[in-house]
Structure 1
Amino acid sequence: MLEDLKPHIAELRSRLIKIVVIYFIFFILAFVFWKEIFQWMSQPLLEALKVSKNSEIIFTGLAEPFFTAVKISLFAGLFMSLPFILYQIWAFIAPGLYEHEKKLIIPFVFWGTVMFVAGAAFAYYVVFPVGFKMLIQFGGSEFTAMPRMSEYVSFFGKLMLGFGIAFEMPVVTYFLAKLGLVTDRTLKDFARYAIVIIFILAAVLTPPDLFSQLAMATPLLVLYGVSIIIAKIVNPEKEAPQESQAPKQKEKE
């Protein structure tokens, strides 16, 4: 048993090493430009801070800018290396697939990347402007907002990654349906459990505030509905053949 697993373990180790090497290269590249990346990341917050007088982004520890730069580089490195990571994931599972299924690698990498970026863009351009402004206004005009840069980067990165992962649902559903592993009936029967899981994921992947959790749970519910439609198109549940209702003729004696 262990001998049979050794080739798979060696293959997994090889794929993980390649992912780490590429990720490290992008991490170093992002670290060089961390200030420019931070300016882009902080733009939604800076716009929201305009509603609060004398508000600004601050740091309170001597080493905070350095560790913030590391956080930014880790986050940006993951984004930039995502297509390569998806490729390595598919390459690892490809030996267990049929030849026609192996050819799905390009659509998998392309649409996996597109949907991840779409989820992150939804967070950046839709959720952040409304959410940040609402959260800052909640403090009232009698308070001055001075968010710490390290806390903001963690908040930003967690939401971006959460929305990016959440938007992968239709892509995962398409390929599972293409491989014959799920049908539209499977997703419909699982819907009641999916709703509970979606709200749990929204609570885990987002900061502990109601707006962020609802902002993630709502599109996830919509994406689950879209996933059912995708599964119905790609791999619909086959109806069981019905027995003929026509009365049998009596045999003549």
Structure 2
Amino acid sequence: MAESASGNGDSRRSKRRRRSRRANPDGTMTLIEHIYEFRRRLGFALLAVVLGGIIGFFWFGTHIGPIPSLGDLVKDPYCAIPPNRRLDSAEGCRLLQTVPFEAFMTQLKVGIAAGAVLLSPVWLYQIWAFIAPGLYSKERKYALTFVGFASVLFAGGAVLAYILFPHALQLLMGFGQDAFVTALTADKYISFLLSLLIIFGISFELPLLVVMLNRVGVVKYAQLKKWRRGIVFALFVFAAFATPGSDPFSMLGLAGALTVLFEIAVQLARIHDRRKDRERHDEGWDQLADDEAAPFDYTPSTVDDEPSTPTASGGRSSTDDVT
């Protein structure tokens, strides 16, 4: 019985080693092992989000040295409204709670959002670790660059939204002069703020998408130059409909930032296409006839540069398996 139990333990450990990317870098797996690997990576990613949510939940009411609490960061735009136009308590500026459980759910929502941003490298790595073995080395380089710049651009968009939010909120709450007083519930206020941050963050990924499409040859600089005016107009229309408050500060801020980022993407595409044209000229591609073969290097590449491919049994095999 002891030997049988030991044998079963060794079998389970060997299966885990086969599913491990370190022990199996070429991604050779059966379909069921791919499912196990996806479940494992998804579990680690969700665990990172949960851990980040716990950190954000306790950060909501705690000052960390010179860093203000998350609750103060969220509440500051509302407290920037003139005192005569908002509903204050005897203790000062506070958000309104209309149901007993609203404060807890608001703190949990903000904590999870902040924690997901703080620990984004962890769950982004889990996604990357799952798809990396199926990519060429050049594609892996592009993917890592894409993930890095996407994180920076998303954070930049969220920061811009947070900077513009107090001005937009004061403008929206200023209508009606002294006939109205602003008493925002915590749930609606937080939902409005988070939606603005997410919209700005996702919108800032557009220039990166343009650059990546240009890198893979889908969009050329000549096309972007021809479509520039129409795309800029479309960006302003998108900003007008995407901003939840429909205020001019958010709309013009988003449209202006997207226009600047799009122009940077166009110039990067121009530099890339000019370099490619120079390489084609140096290699003599522009002197070839239409029926003449291009001077490609047909030398087989190494196994490490080949992605794993599906097999008839539902698994994946590397170039060694094919040859």
On whether the aligned pair clears a TM of 0.5, the verdict is: yes
Structure 1 partner of 2:73: 40
Amino acid at match of 2:116: L
Structure of higher CA gyration radius: 2
Matched, 1:25 2:63: no
Summarize the Cα distance change of 1:75–1:145 in structure 2 as closer, same or farther, 3 Å threshold. same
8 Å contact kept, 1:87–1:105: no
In structure 2, distance between residues paired with 1:232 and 1:21: 42
Q: TM-score w.r.t. structure 2 length?
A: 0.62
Matched, 1:156 2:182: no
8 Å contact kept, 1:116–1:168: yes
Summarize the Cα distance change of 1:12–1:199 in structure 2 as closer, same or farther, 3 Å threshold. farther
Cα deviation, 1:74-130, whole Å, max 9, x if unaligned, reads 2112211222333334444433432133234554443222222111111112x1132
Summarize the Cα distance change of 1:9–1:136 in structure 2 as closer, same or farther, 3 Å threshold. same
In structure 1, distance between residues paired with 2:138 and 2:46: 29
Cα deviation, 1:140-187, whole Å, max 9, x if unaligned, reads 123211111111111111111111122223333334444444432454
Amino acid at match of 1:227: A
CA RMSD of aligned residues (A): 3.5
Unaligned runs of 5+ in 1: 244-253
Q: Which range moves more in the overlay, 138-147 or 174-183?
A: 174-183
Structure 2 partner of 1:251: none
Q: TM-score w.r.t. structure 1 length?
A: 0.76
Give 1:133's match in structure 2, choosing from 151, 155, 170.
170
Q: Higher helix share goes to which structure?
A: 1
Structure 2 partner of 1:227: 265
In structure 1, distance between residues paired with 2:84 and 2:148: 40
The sequence identity of aligned pairs, in percent, is 31
Structure 2 partner of 1:78: 116
Unaligned runs of 5+ in 2: 1-28, 62-68, 289-323
In structure 1, distance between residues paired with 2:210 and 2:191: 29
Amino acid at match of 1:172: L
Task: Give the SS at the match of 1:103.
Answer: helix
In structure 2, distance between residues paired with 1:11 and 1:198: 43
Cα deviation, 1:190-213, whole Å, max 9, x if unaligned, reads 653685477347634x32524344
Q: Deviation of residue 38 (structure 1)? A: 1.6
Structure 1 partner of 2:41: 15
Q: Equivalences for 1:103-252 in 2 at 5 Å?
A: 103-104=141-142, 106-125=144-163, 127-188=164-225, 192=230, 195-196=233-234, 199-200=237-238, 203-204=241-242, 206-211=243-248, 212-235=250-273, 238=277
